[in-house]
Amino acid sequence: MGTMTRGELAKRTGISMAAIRYYENSGILPAPRRASNGYRIYTEDYLVKIKFIQDAQSLGYSLKEIQENLQLLSQEDMESEQLKMLVRDRIADIESHIMNLQHMQGLLEALLKTSEKDIHNYIQSFRNHKEE
């Protein structure tokens, strides 16, 4: 298995060295081993982990969720059915989010049907009025 420096890993993954450092410092990526000269040495499995992070981010996962999922995936007893369950849970979250967005859209569309008089009265309620 080949090894690479942080700079080489950054080039191969398309993310910055600062992002890799951030992932390490926040515990999303495990700390790499160090060579005798003190340089961090990354193995090919870091490419897989960073690809996972990129893919998960594009699917809307937060870095905290990604970290939790990477920890689950690294467990020896992790089975494919558990991974499928994580995916099903994410699909359910997305469906719930879609329903909430559709509800918000309905509320906004109803606001557009509000009469001009009611809109005018509403706006007036925010303006300063002299106390009588």
- Contact call for residues 77 and 40 (beta carbons, < 8 A): no
What are the pLDDT digits (tens) for 10-54? 999 999 999 999 999 999 999 999 988 988 999 999 999 999 999
What are the pLDDT digits (tens) for 83-103? 898 889 989 999 999 999 999
Handedness of CA 53, 56, 57, 58 (dihedral sign): positive
Q: What is the pTM assigned to this prediction?
A: 0.70
- Contact call for residues 53 and 47 (beta carbons, < 8 A): no
